[in-house]
Structure 1
Amino acid sequence: MVAILEFLRDVLKQPALLMGLMALVGLIALKKPAHKIMTGTLKPILGYIMLGAGADFIVNNLDPLGKMIEHGFHINGVVPNNEAIVSVAQKLLGVETMSILVVGLLVNIVIARFTKYKYIFLTGHHSFFMACLLSAVLGTSGMKGTELILIGGFILGAWSAISPAIGQRYTLKVTDGDEIAMGHFGSLAYYISSWVGGLVGKPEDSTENIEIPEQWGFLRDTTISTAITMIVFYLVAAIAAGPAFVSTLSDGTQPILFAIMSALKFAVGVTIVYNGVRMILGDLIPAFQGIATKIIPNAIPAVDCAVFFTYAPTAVVIGFISSFIGGVIGMVILGALGGVLIIPGLVPHFFCGATAGIYGNATGGRRGATIGAFVNGLLLSFAPALLLPVLGSIGFQNTTFGDFDFGVLGIVLGKASNMLGKTGIFIIVAVMVAALIIPNFLKTKAKAINNIEM
């Protein structure tokens, strides 16, 4: 039984396989010929593997940048990292996490079939992270065994359907009406960024319409502009850290050259991500129509945040920089208040900050991208800081999740458990059930909740 669960866990942790499976089912439902089923199944898988390879390239080259910043500017504190806390938690909660992951996916599919929340969450590694958080936090309320797995699985499946719906009206603005949704547990911060963007700017002033003089026209090439921006970042960090420290990271490469090459590799990683995204969207959306018309009426795929990068490449860079600045200011505020320093993690600030910039741009143009992503940076400082005591109470001191939704759900569930024990968790479950059922009895403009532009 454990071996089967481990196999299912490993499959469900792979968004590439989930996307391929969904494409396969959709193409079969559309009765496509065998050769089109084969290519239509493989392309989303290969596209996501390409996206993952680009993301790994980005992460690997951000790691030395983060270390140079910490050493050069003498910063000590906690760096939020989803993978780090999950690796620790898995040693204690492996079976519970696997079981919640499987139940959560099944619940998500049932919700998509029988309610107006038509979103199927395809970002498997984020579902795995959330399953880990739920197994840890729910255990503090006294839940264990089957009860913990069923309640955790329901919350995971419900949030996987509800979170894309909350901001789908913003996602439609980002994608110009493409039938995809946000399937990433930093989503609430992106929607806040979009809301802020609408307050401070105008969508017609898009970052993608920035006028660039002819002699600077090369900056319109996303790879070139990203490379130049990151070279500045890396050189400043390398100079601040000093050649002696950089040499410990560079494996013998001259420090300045190491900084420049790392920046260029980062830019290449971004380009690989873009190419993978294009391959995913080119085949997943048409194949998903088979599911939406034949199996789960009006189903909408909820996909990873990096899939949205191609919709506003300039906003990606602006969002990253603005979010990182917000994270630095958030860290300073926490220090002034006597709290734990949350050191801005470059990985969440790149992926989440870039996405916040894209969402802010969709409603508020350049100002929306800048200010919306800046707010995202603040949220990525305060939410992990508030989540730390909750995780500390269950034995995970000095580590915390990085993305915003983990902080919100972890804090809400942790506080409810501390105040009311199991009863507090059951109240939250009841609220989720009501949120899922009540819309079925209400008339809405679209067949899927919030799947209509405002």
Structure 2
Amino acid sequence: MIQNLFVSIVQTPALLVGLLAVLGLILQHKKTTQVIQGGIKTFAGFLILTGGAGILVNSLDPFAKMFQFSLGVQGVVPSNEAVVAIALVDYGSVTAMIMFVGMLVNIALARFTKFKYIFLTGQAMLYVSCLTAVILVSAGFGNGLFTILLGGLFEGTLLTVTPALCQPFMRVITGGDTVAMGHTGNIGYALAGWCGKWFGNKEHSTEDINVPKSMSFLRDSTVSITIVMAIVYVILALMTGQQFVEENLSKGTNYIIYAIVQAGTFAAGFAVVLQGVRMILAEIVPAFQGIAMKLVPNSKPALDVPIIFPYAPNAVLLGFFVSFIVGTLSMFGMVALGTVVIIPGVVGHFFCGAAAAIYGNAKGGRRGAIIGAAVNSLLISWLPLFILPVLGNLSLASSTFADTDYLIPGIILGNIGALGETALLVGIIGFTVLVCLASKLMKEPEKA
């Protein structure tokens, strides 16, 4: 029962972060009314954010179905939620315990190293735990205590160091150093940021697009997103055909009207996400100062990817389209090469493509946003081919992991595991030692 309670809390990011806000305010000796207010507003803000993300995902579902039907392709669809749901049937208990140990390792490393990031995205923690459990068990480790401790060490170390890779760009994006990125696309985002810095031009930001006075209404993100997405949805609906849409998706509603409504729903979800982000930032950052001062000095909360969407809404749309186009071209490349076909997951390309573009834009402007989103898309399009062989029986599923922080560490860990249990043990312990040594040698944070 206690295990189930813990898993339920961690799987509910709104509750987890709300409780941490309460803890932070208590540590600052705030009044009871302030503690209650801060906790509830943080809790509600996360529910608003996740509710908005849910609206976005639901509006993208028919997009994916129309796309797949219109092209007539079959293959593996990267979806973290789907593959974890399958894996938890056999790996549920060990996954939960790895997640618990991973949280403790994350807190310990944040306390005693210079990587001061507390990873707070509950579902991402669960998914990384599940991936780790699958690879360790497939490599020959059982479901016992040793697997749990080793898996927790790997997960906690990974979730401590990946926000650090992104933080130089987070300082530019947010204009401060109070919040970090707590998502499982961090490796790809950091790479997108570096590509933007190397090959882009910061002088031409995605957010500096000149709009004539007669078209000034397009400066409103809700309006511009609705118009752009309506054009895309209508074109896709026309490609798919009236019969399929009305019989399988719209329940009889005219297919063009249905497409327009889905575009508006997408924009509405985006607006809800922005409101949730504002509430969270207003409450969690001040509350987290209590934890930073008392428990983990100078620590920063690492939060889910939509936290950066308000800073560059134009880059969000640009990144989605670039990422999805590159993913589609990659799919055709796989068909030509005769490999397993990785069908572009619309949700993954939206969230990861959007974030990669924001990171690329931070130091490379519009060109950096395009390059960053394209590079990240290539990673999440082609790397699933290389992780499938290390997932044991799970490789037979019609879905697989989608983000770079599952794919790259998973491929490395799985291939080390192929060398035997001893190699995997040495590899994971060596990874943690390497991170600790890097912290010792690291200078004060520098701006990107």
Interval containing the TM-score (normalised by the shorter chain): over 0.9
Equivalent in 108, 111, 123 of residue 109 of structure 2 = 111
C-alpha contact (below 8 Å) 1:391/1:400 kept by paired residues: no
C-alpha contact (below 8 Å) 1:54/1:271 kept by paired residues: yes
* 1:371 paired residue number: 371
Where 1:203 maps in the other structure, the secondary structure is coil
Given residue 223 of structure 2, which amino acid in structure 1 is its aligned partner?
Answer: I
C-alpha contact (below 8 Å) 1:388/1:399 kept by paired residues: no
Q: Label 1:151 to 1:396 Cα distance change in 2 as closer, same or farther (>3 A).
A: farther
* 1:263 paired residue number: 263
* 1:312 paired residue number: 312
The answer to whether structure 1 residue 133 and structure 2 residue 154 are counterparts is no
Given residue 344 of structure 1, which amino acid in structure 2 is its aligned partner?
Answer: P
Q: What is the Cα deviation at residue 202 of structure 1? A: 2.0
Q: What is the Cα deviation at residue 167 of structure 1? A: 2.4
* 2:229 paired residue number: 230
C-alpha contact (below 8 Å) 1:81/1:400 kept by paired residues: yes
* 1:84 paired residue number: 82
Where 2:402 maps in the other structure, the secondary structure is coil
TM-score by length of 1: 0.95
Given residue 362 of structure 2, which amino acid in structure 1 is its aligned partner?
Answer: A
Output the CA distance in 2 between the equivalents of 1:392 and 1:63: 29
Q: What is the Cα deviation at residue 443 of structure 1? A: 5.8
Output the CA distance in 2 between the equivalents of 1:441 and 1:236: 54
Q: Label 1:439 to 1:212 Cα distance change in 2 as closer, same or farther (>3 A).
A: same
Q: Which runs of 5+ in 2 are unaligned?
A: none
Q: What is the Cα deviation at residue 5 of structure 1? A: 1.1
* 2:437 paired residue number: 438
C-alpha contact (below 8 Å) 1:388/1:397 kept by paired residues: no
Given residue 452 of structure 1, which amino acid in structure 2 is its aligned partner?
Answer: E
The answer to whether structure 1 residue 337 and structure 2 residue 311 are counterparts is no
* 2:155 paired residue number: 156
* 1:298 paired residue number: 298
* 1:453 paired residue number: 447
* 1:39 paired residue number: 37
The answer to whether structure 1 residue 356 and structure 2 residue 350 are counterparts is no
Q: Label 1:257 to 1:443 Cα distance change in 2 as closer, same or farther (>3 A).
A: closer
Equivalent in 3, 6, 22 of residue 5 of structure 1 = 3
- Deviation string 1:338-375 (CA, Å, 9 cap, x unpaired) is 21111111101111111111101001001111121111
C-alpha contact (below 8 Å) 1:326/1:376 kept by paired residues: no
Where 2:78 maps in the other structure, the secondary structure is coil
C-alpha contact (below 8 Å) 2:312/2:358 kept by paired residues: yes
Output the CA distance in 2 between the equivalents of 1:274 and 1:386: 36
Q: What is the Cα deviation at residue 125 of structure 1? A: 0.3
C-alpha contact (below 8 Å) 2:115/2:439 kept by paired residues: no
Q: What is the Cα deviation at residue 35 of structure 1? A: 1.2
| More divergent stretch after superposition (247-256 vs 392-401) | 392-401
Q: What is the Cα deviation at residue 209 of structure 1? A: 1.3
- Deviation string 1:203-224 (CA, Å, 9 cap, x unpaired) is 2311111111111211111111
Output the CA distance in 2 between the equivalents of 1:384 and 1:234: 27
Where 1:257 maps in the other structure, the secondary structure is helix
* 2:213 paired residue number: 214
Output the CA distance in 2 between the equivalents of 1:421 and 1:315: 44
C-alpha contact (below 8 Å) 1:73/1:240 kept by paired residues: no
Where 2:383 maps in the other structure, the secondary structure is helix
Output the CA distance in 1 between the equivalents of 2:446 and 2:320: 28
Output the CA distance in 1 between the equivalents of 2:349 and 2:441: 39
| More divergent stretch after superposition (122-131 vs 3-12) | 3-12
C-alpha contact (below 8 Å) 2:324/2:349 kept by paired residues: yes
Given residue 321 of structure 1, which amino acid in structure 2 is its aligned partner?
Answer: F
Output the CA distance in 2 between the equivalents of 1:360 and 1:439: 25
Identity of aligned residues (%): 44
C-alpha contact (below 8 Å) 1:358/1:369 kept by paired residues: yes
Q: What is the Cα deviation at residue 424 of structure 1? A: 2.1
- Deviation string 1:215-258 (CA, Å, 9 cap, x unpaired) is 12111111111111111111111111111100121012111111
The answer to whether structure 1 residue 386 and structure 2 residue 380 are counterparts is no
C-alpha contact (below 8 Å) 1:315/1:358 kept by paired residues: yes
C-alpha contact (below 8 Å) 1:85/1:396 kept by paired residues: no
When the two chains are superposed, the root-mean-square deviation of aligned CA atoms in Å is 1.4
Output the CA distance in 1 between the equivalents of 2:299 and 2:388: 36
Output the CA distance in 2 between the equivalents of 1:443 and 1:166: 13
TM-score by length of 2: 0.97
C-alpha contact (below 8 Å) 1:172/1:452 kept by paired residues: no
Where 2:400 maps in the other structure, the secondary structure is coil
- Deviation string 1:184-203 (CA, Å, 9 cap, x unpaired) is 01111111111111122222
Equivalent in 118, 121, 125 of residue 119 of structure 2 = 121
Given residue 261 of structure 1, which amino acid in structure 2 is its aligned partner?
Answer: V
C-alpha contact (below 8 Å) 1:330/1:378 kept by paired residues: yes
* 2:243 paired residue number: 244
Output the CA distance in 2 between the equivalents of 1:160 and 1:403: 14
Where 1:302 maps in the other structure, the secondary structure is strand
Q: What is the Cα deviation at residue 440 of structure 1? A: 5.1
**In the comparison of the two structures, how many residue pairs are matched?**
446
| More divergent stretch after superposition (115-124 vs 164-173) | 164-173
Where 2:398 maps in the other structure, the secondary structure is coil
Output the CA distance in 2 between the equivalents of 1:137 and 1:440: 27
Q: Label 1:441 to 1:66 Cα distance change in 2 as closer, same or farther (>3 A).
A: closer
* 1:421 paired residue number: 420
Where 1:301 maps in the other structure, the secondary structure is strand
C-alpha contact (below 8 Å) 1:104/1:154 kept by paired residues: yes
| More divergent stretch after superposition (59-68 vs 397-406) | 397-406
Where 1:205 maps in the other structure, the secondary structure is coil
* 1:448 paired residue number: none
